[in-house]
Amino acid sequence: MLFYVVLLLLGAGAYYYHFTANRKKIIERLEVVAQRRRDDLAKNVVETRRIADKLDPKRRDYVGGLDFIQLQNELQKGTVTCVEAVRTYFHKAILAHEKTNAVTCFILEADQQAEELDEKAKQASYVKPPMFGVPLSLKECLKVKGYDTTRGFVQDAYRPATEDSIQIEHYKKLGLIPFCQTNVPQSLLSYNCSNPLFGTTTNPFDSTRTCGGSSGGEGALIGGRGSIIGIGTDVGGSVRIPCHFTGTAGIKPSKMRFAHRGGGASVPGKPMIDANDGPMAQDVRANVEFLRNVWGDIDFQSDRDPYCPPVHWNESLYSSEKKLRVGYYIDDGWFTPTPALQRAVLESKKHLENAGHTVIPFYPPRLTKVMQLYFRAVCLDGGQYVLNKLLKDIIEPTIRFQVTLWMVPTWVQRILSYPVSLVFPRMAVLMQSLTRDTFELREAYADIEAYREEYVGMMMKDNLDVILCPASVMPAPQHDIPSKVVSGVSYTCLYNLLDFGAGVVPVTTVSKSDEEKLINEYPETDKWYQTVKKATIGAIGMPIGVQVAAPPFREEAVLRTMREIELAITGK
Ligand SMILES: CCCCCCCC/C=C\CCCCCCCC(=O)NCC(=O)O
């Protein structure tokens, strides 16, 4: 017996020695690559600044002061040139990048593309496309020919995409000029924004707090006024959470509204968790104008990807005079949001009622079960795909807690979940979520299908057009918090599980009385609540958004509701 124990220990020791020696070698090699990539970025910024500085500062201030619609109009009229627009946003993006570390690469050809468009515009026969010359920022994982899509993995640096994805091709056809790529958290499966290649992107309103993720670079850049519109991706909240954390507006459409051919994903092969790309901008109007033009011309994408149905922009749904029926909730029963987030929903409810809409309570059913289904279906291999990639890379410290969870074998998590359930029941729910076998996975898929039916059935019974609810559980926390509170995505991941269109619009900022309420009334019943409470103290002044969601192909109703809230708040 002793012999076998010794043998086992020796075997384990040898494996551990081999594993750590191998990791050390990998890390040393990748450190060199990461340093080279950062040096390249520094040179790229210098070159971008040189190009940006060619523009007269007075012109730059003028162009930089225009909102999306104004810039679009001036570019159409020819009173602003494409070169002026690109150089202005090169300059503004550098300023935002210096503050937040949002950019991973400036696309220098943007300047040349702008010159070519200006040249074409001189021909009398040339018809300007609808978003002629508008600069567009892109989340780093989106495929642009000649540029990396590392998703924060050092191992994927210097492996540029060989083609533009269909979506990028389409945006260029519509006149948009991609001018930079923006930072992401390593693996994209996090709502912070840090990786070992490009470092941490910070919130433009408070550098000790995260800009959110995984489209965090977009949030930081747009919220920091370094871009007028950008594209993010969202599998659990990655467009909507950064919008909420940075005071910007964006929407994740339901999956089929864009072509996915030639695009990438954080975890390929997760059929029931529907991700999509989506616009993020400084206001809702920009999102509307962007999608009106993209979906107005969706045949371009459908012709190239037969899985993308040719569903056109539905102007009558967006501009309808018919009053809406809105279901709202301020607490999903899984994770009570901090006071400012609840107040934002109640204020939005008032704005919608003042505009004549009917707003009634709605209770999303069984969120505890939803969380289990979401984590099971998003990590359908128990996290193995992501873990394999992470173990071949430098692991980002701010997601280490999450990585550790993936490293514990599923069966160990299940056993441990029973004692844990006595002291931390919500944690036990997640510990029982990762898939044990294919039987359980099939069952989860069936449960998701049944849940979708139940949810839309409830909406239909009350004749609801849209749902209004919090965008998250808290305002932007410190950089390490998202990995410690993965359970905090319940408000957004629900709408990936349902494949609804869902958007976020900025509504307010955290006030002193929100903080007092937080200190006096917010629960401290488990570690997650304690962490969220602590992270939210000191967040006075941070932006707060609300979320609006509707079943697939009704994104125009979501945008209409978001726009009405925006109009009531900003008056413009
Ligand atoms: C003991 C607990 C076991 C559960 C371990 C769960 C580990 C965390 C897994 C997933 C986290 C999901 C967070 C989602 C954040 C948003 C991600 C997103 O939308 N990404 C965009 C994209 O992938 O394109």
Name the β-bridge partners of 276: 234
Please give the pLDDT value at position 17: 76
Q: Whose CA is nearest to atom 7 of ligand 1?
A: 402
- What is the CA(237)–ligand 1 centre distance, in A? 9
DSSP letter at 478 equals B
Please give the pLDDT value at position 175: 98
Task: For residues 466 and 325, give the distance between their C-alpha atoms in angstroms, rounded to a whole number.
Answer: 7
pLDDT at 65 over 80: yes
Indicate the pLDDT class of residue 514, thresholds 50, 70 and 90.
Answer: very high
Q: Which of 238, 187, 214, 188 is nearest to 393 (CA)?
A: 187
pLDDT at 370 over 80: yes
Segment 8-56, tens digit of pLDDT: 777 777 777 777 888 888 999 999 999 999 999 999 999 999 999 999 9
- What is the CA(214)–ligand 1 centre distance, in A? 10
- Average pLDDT over all residues of the chain: 96
pLDDT at 547 over 80: yes
Q: Indicate the top mutation candidate among 141, 190, 406, 434 to test ligand 1's pocket, ranked by most ligand atoms within 8 A of CB.
A: 190
| Residues flagged as binding site for substrate | 188, 214, 235-238
Please give the pLDDT value at position 22: 83
pLDDT at 483 over 90: yes
Name the β-bridge partners of 206: 203
Segment 126-147, tens digit of pLDDT: 999 999 999 999 999 999 999 9
- What is the CA(190)–ligand 1 centre distance, in A? 5
Q: Mean pLDDT throughout 199-219?
A: 98
- What is the CA(486)–ligand 1 centre distance, in A? 7
- The domain spans of the chain are 25-366+461-570
Q: Whose CA is nearest to atom 1 of ligand 1?
A: 431
**pTM assigned to the model:** 0.96
- Contact residues of ligand 1, CB 6 A cut-off: 188-191, 214, 233-238, 266, 275, 375, 378-379, 402, 405-406, 413, 430-431, 433-434, 486, 489
Segment 423-439, tens digit of pLDDT: 999 999 999 999 989 99
The beta strand positions in 88-217, using DSSP E, are 103-106, 135-139, 177-182, 194-195, 199-200, 202-203, 206-210
Reading the block at residue 417, the tokens are: 């979940």
Indicate the pLDDT class of residue 72, thresholds 50, 70 and 90.
Answer: very high
Catalytic residue, chosen from 214, 254, 266, 472, is 214
Catalytic residue, chosen from 238, 348, 472, 487, is 238
Task: For residues 399 and 468, give the distance between their C-alpha atoms in angstroms, rounded to a whole number.
Answer: 30
pLDDT at 6 over 90: no
Q: Is 238 labeled as catalytic in the residue annotation?
A: yes
Segment 105-124, tens digit of pLDDT: 999 999 999 999 999 999 99
Q: Mean pLDDT throughout 386-410?
A: 91
- Domain 25-366+461-570 architecture: Alpha-Beta Complex (3.90)
Q: Which of 542, 472, 546, 488 is nearest to 512 (CA)?
A: 542
Please give the pLDDT value at position 477: 98
Q: Whose CA is nearest to atom 16 of ligand 1?
A: 236
ipTM of the complex: 0.95
